Structure formats: C-alpha cells, structure tokens
A and B are shown apart, each in its own frame.
Chain A
Amino acid sequence: MAANPAVLDQSIESLEKNQQWWWVAEKKRSRRLDYLRKSIWKKGAVGGLYNPGVKVDLEQGFLGMESWQANAIFPEPENIRLARELAHFLDNKTIFITDHAQLVGYVGSLPHTVSWDPSLGEMLNEEIYNDPSAIPDPVDENLKKVAELCDFWAGKTLQARIIPAFDLEGMMKVMSGAIGWGLPTSRSGYAGKDYEYLMTGKRGFADILVEVEKKLDETYDKLHNQPPKRDNSSLTDKLQTWEAMKIILEACIRHGKRYARLARILAENYESDSKRKEELVRIAETCERVPAHAPRNLQESLQYDLFIQLFSRTEAVEGAWPSRPDYYHWPYYKKDVIEDKSINEEAAMDLVGEFLIRAAEVGQYKPRWTKEGLQGIDGTWVWTLGGVYPDGTDACNDLTVAFLRAARMVRVANPTFAFRWHPKVKDEVMREVFECIRHGLGYPSIRNDPLLVQNSMHWHGHPLEEARTWVHQACMSPCPTTKHGFQPMRMASATANCAKIVEYVFTQGFDKVVNMQMTPKTDDPRTFTDFEQVMEAWNVHMRSIFGLLVSGVNRGRSVASRITPRPYLSAVSERSVESGLDVCDPSISRGNAWITGFTWVENVDSLAAVKKLVFDEKRYTMDELCKALEANWEGYEQMRLDFVRDAPKWGNDDDFVDNLMVRCLQDVAKYSRELECPSGNSWPLLPENVSGNIHYANMVGALPNGRRLGDALYDGGISPGPGLDKKGPTAVLKSCGKIDHVGDGRAFLLNQRLSPSQLAGEKGYQLWKAYIRTWADLGLDHVQFNMVSDETLRAAQRDPEKYQEVIVRVAGYSAHFVDISRKTQDNIIQRTIQGI
C-alpha cells in the first residue's frame, strides 16, 4: 500500500511538534511493519456492519458438516465428536502466509474473512444469511451455500441443544435484550488460559500428549483388566475426555506442521530473494517446533502463543484475549536480545509489532448485539503488562518497554494494553507508559496492582501468589493464570444494563420497551412518601436483575461439561489433563465470576435527583415525576432542566450524591456474597460499559437524571456523565476515592480526557505522574485516558481517510476513531477535557 500522502512531504520533527503521532508512526516503523500494518483487513464492525470487502468464511461450516456426517453412523460423545470436527477443520482448512510475515496463523481461511462456525447457533446463522454485505462473491452462489449450511445445522447447533436446559421464563427475559445480552454457553465468551501450565517453557503439546496417553493407559487398564468398581462410570467419562484431548492435541501439532510445509515449499520453489528465503526457512523451523514442543527463542514463543489463541478461537467465539505477553515471553527476549544477541532490538521490534498485528487482524462473525456493543473492534482484547512476580518483586522488563514502543509503531486498536502499576515500577517504564497515552492511543489503562491483588483475595479467595499472576480476563476483571484460579469461560450474559434498575422503580418492573414484566411488581411509586421506599424498590429490582443473569450463567456453566464441552481448552489446562474432567467442570475451578455493570452511574445521579428535588426540597411530587417520565419528559422541559441542573451529579466531590453511590454499591456487594457461582464463589459487580451506552440508548426509558429515551447513556463504569464533572480532575478522583475499591466491587472503570497541549514535554509527564500518585493515594483501581484534542477529532470526522490511525478510548477498550459511529464519536468529544 502506498504511504499516506498527508505524510510524505513532512519531516518527523514537524509531525512530532504538531503531535500528529499517527503519522509519526507511519514514518518511523520498519518497511516490514508498515507493510503488515497496512495489510490488515479491519474486522471490527461499524454501525453493525463489517467493513467493505470483509466476508464471512464458509470453510468451517462445510468441513464441520463433513465431519458431522462421518460421525452420524457411529455417534460419539459430544467432546469426542467436537474434537474430531475441529481436527478435520485444522487438517483441511486453507492456510496462508502473507508477504513479509514472520508469524503465521489465522482463524479464517483468507485474510479478509471473518470465521463462522454454524454449529454454534441458529440465531447467528440467520443473521449471516440476512447480512448481504458479508456474503462472499459471487453473492448469489454463496448465499445458496450459506442457506445450505443454515439448513444443515438447524436443530443440531449448540444453541438448539442448550436452550432446553434453561428456565424458559428467565431465558426469555435475558434474550429480550433489555437487561442483559447473549446466550450463556461455554463456547462463546471470555476464556482464561492456564498460562502457568502452558507458557513457562516446561512443555509443548507433544509433552501434554504423553501425559494424556499415560492417563488413557491407566484408565483403560482399570476399566478392562481390573474388577469393576462403583466409579467405573465416571472413569468411562474421563476416558472419553482424555480421548478427545488426544485427538485435538494431535491435530494442533499437525496444523503447525502444515505451516512449516508451506513455508518450506515457498522457500524452495517460489522465493528468489535470499533474505526472504531465510525467513521462510525460519518460519518452517518454528512451526516444526511449536506447538509440539516448548519454544526455544522469541519467534517460537510468540508463534506458540499465537497458535494457542487461534486454536481456542477455532473451538469457541472468544470476545476477549487474556494475556500477559511481557511476562511470559520475557525469558526468550532476554536470551535472544540481551544474552545471546542472536537478534537485535530492531529485529525483536519487528516480531513484537507483528505479534500485535496478527492479533489485530483476527475476526469471528459476531451477533448484532456484539457488533453494536463493541464498535470498531472484534472483541475486548486487553493485554496485561507490568505487575509483579508471585513473590511480589517488580516484573517489568525490557520486553514491557518493547511492547509499549511497538504499540506506538503499529497503532492497532485491538489488542490494547492495561498496565499493572505498583509503587516499585521504575521511572523509565512509567515514561514509556505515558508516551503511549500522550501519543493518543488511549492505552494502556492504569491498574492499581496491590489493590487488585487484594481484591482478588477478598472476593474469590485466590491465594496471594496466585492472585499476583493476574491478567485481564476481559476489559477489566483480574483473573489468575493458575491451575485452579483461571476461569475457562466468563459468559457475557452476566452483563447487566443497570440503568434498568432505577427505570423499573418507576415502572414497577414492567419494561415498556420490550413490553414485559421483567422484575417483581413493586409498589406504585406515586405512593412513596419517603426516599427509603425508593431505595427499597431499587434493591428489589437490582436483586431481581442480577439474580436472573447469574442464574442463567450458572446454569450454562453447570451443564457446559456435558452439553458444550471444550476439548481443546481442556487439553491445555493442567486441572483437566490431571483429572480427566472437562475444563468447565466447576468442581475443579476456584471461581472468578463477576457481573459487568453497564450504565451504572445513571442510577446514582437519578436517585440523587429524586432525593433532592422530590423528598428534600419538595419542588416536585412523585406523581409529577412519574408523569414526566411516562411522557419521556415531553411537555416537561423546564422540569427536566431542573432535574439536570439542580441535582448534584456524581464526580464533583459532593457527598450528597457520592454517599448514594457508596450506598448502592454496598447494597450490591452484600447481595454479591449471597449470589453463588457453580464453584461456590461470589459474584461481585464490575461497573464498565464497552460501548453499551450507545447500544442501550434506545432500550432505556426516560430517567430522573433528565435523560430521555434515545439519548446516549453515560460512558460508563464510575465515570461521571459527559460534561457533568465540573469541578476538575481532583474532584473526580475524590468522588471515586470514596468507594472502597476492594470491598465494594470487583473493579471500577474511570474514563478521563486530558489535554494534549497541557501534557506536552517533560512538564506534562511530571504533571501526569503527580496525577497518578494522587489516583493511587486515593485507592482507585483503574483509570484510562483519552488525550486527543477536539480539533483532531473534528478533523477526523471531516476527513476520515487522512486519520485512519487516530485512536480513542471508548470504554474498556480502544478503537480507531473513524471506525465508531457518529453518535459514539460525538459522545467522546462531549467528555470534559480535564486540566491537571
């Protein structure tokens, strides 16, 4: 691809001076990285549709169909059937190697495709059939193929098998889309990984196979050569689980070797350039080594990690990418770059940058609610950097710095980073973190490591050393990477549209948008004479909504081993290899569940408005308020403005509203202890939003904070409403500091916009560092920054082609500004720029 014409005639110095970092990156990165960066087919949807040219992949559906038909004669248990299906796909799918690439592997068959596994669900399949923009050319012919796949898989999908396992009434409420989203299955969501088992250089897949085969032999012997015992039935189940692991592990190794073979064929028959020939031979050697065996160098280690992720995405639709790359790849970087000097820093930068690019190009066809909720990205891939070793010593290293620098070079919006800050982080690392923020990436977000380690121990009882291994399981929630600590599936269905809690106080639990009684019918709010009655009703709806979502996910998790097993994920998890139980079996997991709280702060601002204007000052009656809300504030504009302007708002260090925030969170925290996950652990709340504030705009009715149906909701977590934090950044931090970030919930997202001109130069860094010190002193667990001026964002709205690499923080994730809807763009511009 040609260089951006806007960049060609400008010097790096002048671009840096103007803080046009996206064009600086284009000029500074290597030729290879520039080619690979521009070669990405963006897989994030905009306005619910994929970018032009991105097409759905049909190979997995047809190969899956072949496998199903072959299995139909002698049906096998689901885990073995699925393992065979995945193996058949990995053995036969089209694979490719991109020019200049050193790392290989993709979820689909071609670079411009999003993968599609039609065995997952009829609803998704129907959506694809009705999405003509995603059907590959020639459209008529391929539409027939899509129809053939939809017909074949109808009634055989995971969705068809799992829905009867749920309580129908609860399921209908969740599936209405008003209070939550998604179907709770283990093959869709956010899968943690047992990195301590996989990524510590002790084993590759062939080594795990040896362990599995030993288990198979021992169990076979017990079943066939020894007197029958009462646990023989469970031994048969285990035998099948290990058998499924064996099938998939062997297939993964063969898949690696397919790339090795392709690279060798290219080196020997197609490539004339000697340098590229060498690279292709290195790719071949790498894929002959991994995933079969433990890596020996940085390239093998990154390739191994990539394979681990891609296989998991072949088995499931994954919306997250829990990872800690600077920690697990560090021994190889150290050996190659620092000790052996087998590669230099530039060569390592090419590998690290490409690793980000390979992740950025991944795309799996997602249902409408995900495409709308995650504008511009395929999933929330928040990679974890920094932090500490299990003994508490600083884990930051040169590779942490290399990842931060690589991010500034390739400027992808997915993955993003979150940095585990702790008091021992060296200044040079903090400067690199700040440079990413100053360059407008919107990441890394900053996480308070000591506090979150404590939080993991408090809520889920993870032992200290395990808690210290934590990675982001999705956008925000920490999860250990250990045998019993990692969570195989966090089902996105436990994501609550929290604004409904306060809405239902006024509708007595009846949802007018979906026309359904969602929660218990509480008393008529017109009869309330005391604010405590409002809070009582609020608690009823909060408990009911959270209870509904948790029940669904608990059920999904409980039946997962049987109905929706994960043979691949089991095969790479020590606890499953050891026990012969599917990785989703709750008995071998400690539990790390959480409820994601979308649209949370609307509750607090609404309750504060009711308390002040109705009960304290008696300017309006509950009857008048109910009428105004029923009318969506139409005909009540002056009253609406009073509720907007005269009620205290969260984020201004005002105890009136801040105390309500703490009270609501504490009510939830109490209930979180009553809620149990299938492993017997608790369900704390985690307020954050992705782009749910836009997705739910037409779902949430009028609220007492003055919001009307259709208005964008707040940008989420515990961030104040856009433009409502009028007292400056310290007041925001002080409000947030009133929350106990250990005991009141699992984590709390805070968005802040800072001024790029104020934070220029050394002075800017020192200001930001002082801000972070205050943030840490006040005991906050998270903060993330947008540092792109209104001027640039407006220019990008006018001329998107020129600003392709401008990135903004949306909520728990970043996106390229040009890839999000106009409504979300405006919402970001509306956020207050804080001078610090």
Chain B
Amino acid sequence: MAQCKECRNFFSDENQPAFGDCIRKTVDPRQAYFTSKRMEALRDTNDCPDFSNKK
C-alpha cells in the first residue's frame, strides 16, 4: 500500500521526518495557486486521487 512519502507531491520535512508537505496546484474560476498541507509521511494514499508515484 503506497504512502504519502512515495508521492511526487510530498516534500519531507528535514526537521520532522515523520511529516512533510503535500504541495498541489489548483486552478479555480478566479485564480491559480499552490497549496501546502501538512501530511504524515506514512499516511495511506488510498483515498487520495492525486497520488503520483515519485519513481
């Protein structure tokens, strides 16, 4: 089962290796922006449609 740390959108936090940031781009009807959301590195990615394997 894949975990967030394996995802292309995941950037691990050197100071807290158990965590990282999930960075995604959104384009809404008014603007384009990048979001960052705190994630656990070992989070199960099953429910995430945006998982994209790093490899």
A723 surroundings in chain B (CB, below 8 A)? none
17 contacts between A and B (CB under 8 A): A38-B30, A39-B30, A53-B29, A94-B35, A94-B36, A95-B35, A95-B36, A96-B36, A111-B33, A261-B13, A261-B21, A262-B21, A265-B11, A265-B23, A265-B36, A266-B23, A270-B34
- A1→B31 CA distance, assembly (Å): 8
- Tell yes or no: B43 within 8 A of A by CB: no
- Tell yes or no: B28 within 8 A of A by CB: yes
B35 surroundings in chain A (CB, below 8 A)? 94-96, 109-110
Q: Is the CB of A262 within 8 A of B23?
A: yes
A11 surroundings in chain B (CB, below 8 A)? none
Q: Is the CB of B33 within 8 A of A96?
A: yes
A-B contact count (CB 8 A): 58
- Tell yes or no: A273 within 8 A of B by CB: no
Q: Is the CB of B31 within 8 A of A98?
A: yes
- A269→B54 CA distance, assembly (Å): 13
- A391→B33 CA distance, assembly (Å): 46
- Tell yes or no: B55 within 8 A of A by CB: no
By beta carbon, the residue of chain A nearest B27 is: A99
A266 surroundings in chain B (CB, below 8 A)? 23, 34
> Most chain-A CB neighbours within 10 Å: which of B28, B29, B31?
B31
A91 surroundings in chain B (CB, below 8 A)? 38
Interface residues of A in 226-268 (CB under 8 A from B): 258, 261-262, 265-266
Closest 6 CB pairs of A and B: A39-B31, A262-B36, A98-B33, A96-B35, A99-B32, A96-B33
- A91→B26 CA distance, assembly (Å): 21
Q: How many residues of A contact B (CB 8 A)?
A: 26
What's the nearest-Cβ distance from chain A to residue B49, in Å? 14
- A35→B38 CA distance, assembly (Å): 28
A261 surroundings in chain B (CB, below 8 A)? 13, 21, 36
Given A39-B31, A109-B35, A270-B34, 7 additional A-B pairs, CB 8 A: A39-B30, A92-B38, A94-B36, A95-B36, A110-B28, A261-B13, A265-B11
A265 and B21 in contact (CB under 8 A), knowing A94-B35, A110-B35? yes
- Tell yes or no: A460 within 8 A of B by CB: no
Residue among A98, A99, A258 making CB contact with B36, cutoff 8 Å = A258
- A137→B10 CA distance, assembly (Å): 25
A35 surroundings in chain B (CB, below 8 A)? 31
- Tell yes or no: A615 within 8 A of B by CB: no
Q: How many residues of B contact A (CB 8 A)?
A: 17
- A92→B23 CA distance, assembly (Å): 13
By beta carbon, the residue of chain B nearest A268 is: B11
What's the nearest-Cβ distance from chain B to residue A1, in Å? 7
By beta carbon, the residue of chain B nearest A98 is: B33
By beta carbon, the residue of chain B nearest A264 is: B11
- A149→B46 CA distance, assembly (Å): 25
- Tell yes or no: A408 within 8 A of B by CB: no
What's the nearest-Cβ distance from chain A to residue B2, in Å? 20
By beta carbon, the residue of chain B nearest A1 is: B30
- Tell yes or no: A358 within 8 A of B by CB: no
What's the nearest-Cβ distance from chain A to residue B31, in Å? 3
- Tell yes or no: A166 within 8 A of B by CB: no
Residue among B23, B30, B38 making CB contact with A40, cutoff 8 Å = B30
What's the nearest-Cβ distance from chain A to residue B29, in Å? 7
- A38→B30 CA distance, assembly (Å): 7
A97 and B33 in contact (CB under 8 A), knowing A262-B23, A265-B11? yes
- A262→B22 CA distance, assembly (Å): 10
What's the nearest-Cβ distance from chain B to residue A53, in Å? 7
A111 and B30 in contact (CB under 8 A), knowing A262-B23, A265-B11, A265-B21? yes
What's the nearest-Cβ distance from chain A to residue B21, in Å? 7
A110 surroundings in chain B (CB, below 8 A)? 26, 28, 35
Q: Is the CB of B28 within 8 A of A112?
A: yes
Q: Is the CB of A111 within 8 A of B31?
A: yes
- A772→B33 CA distance, assembly (Å): 45
- A116→B25 CA distance, assembly (Å): 24
A38 surroundings in chain B (CB, below 8 A)? 30
- A261→B21 CA distance, assembly (Å): 9
**Residues 12-52 of chain B, each 1 if its beta carbon lies under 8 Å from chain A, else 0:** 01000000010101101111111111100000000000000
Interface residues of A in 94-125 (CB under 8 A from B): 94-99, 109-112
- Tell yes or no: A41 within 8 A of B by CB: yes
A270 surroundings in chain B (CB, below 8 A)? 23, 25, 34
B25 surroundings in chain A (CB, below 8 A)? 270
A40 surroundings in chain B (CB, below 8 A)? 30
- A98→B31 CA distance, assembly (Å): 7
Interface residues of A in 7-50 (CB under 8 A from B): 35, 38-41
By beta carbon, the residue of chain B nearest A36 is: B31
What's the nearest-Cβ distance from chain A to residue B50, in Å? 14
What's the nearest-Cβ distance from chain B to residue A769, in Å? 40
What's the nearest-Cβ distance from chain A to residue B36, in Å? 4
B34 surroundings in chain A (CB, below 8 A)? 96-97, 262, 266, 270
- A97→B29 CA distance, assembly (Å): 16
- A261→B11 CA distance, assembly (Å): 10
By beta carbon, the residue of chain B nearest A266 is: B34
By beta carbon, the residue of chain B nearest A52 is: B29
- A53→B11 CA distance, assembly (Å): 30
By beta carbon, the residue of chain A nearest B23 is: A265
- A91→B19 CA distance, assembly (Å): 12
B33 surroundings in chain A (CB, below 8 A)? 96-99, 111
- A745→B28 CA distance, assembly (Å): 48
Q: Is the CB of B31 within 8 A of A99?
A: yes
B28 surroundings in chain A (CB, below 8 A)? 110-112
- A374→B32 CA distance, assembly (Å): 29
Interface residues of A in 35-78 (CB under 8 A from B): 35, 38-41, 53
Residue among B21, B32, B37, B38 making CB contact with A98, cutoff 8 Å = B32
> Most chain-A CB neighbours within 10 Å: which of B11, B26, B36?
B36
By beta carbon, the residue of chain A nearest B31 is: A39
What's the nearest-Cβ distance from chain A to residue B37, in Å? 5
- A40→B28 CA distance, assembly (Å): 11
B38 surroundings in chain A (CB, below 8 A)? 91-92
What's the nearest-Cβ distance from chain A to residue B9, in Å? 10
- A96→B21 CA distance, assembly (Å): 12
By beta carbon, the residue of chain A nearest B36 is: A262
A269 surroundings in chain B (CB, below 8 A)? 11, 23
What's the nearest-Cβ distance from chain A to residue B10, in Å? 11
What's the nearest-Cβ distance from chain A to residue B12, in Å? 11
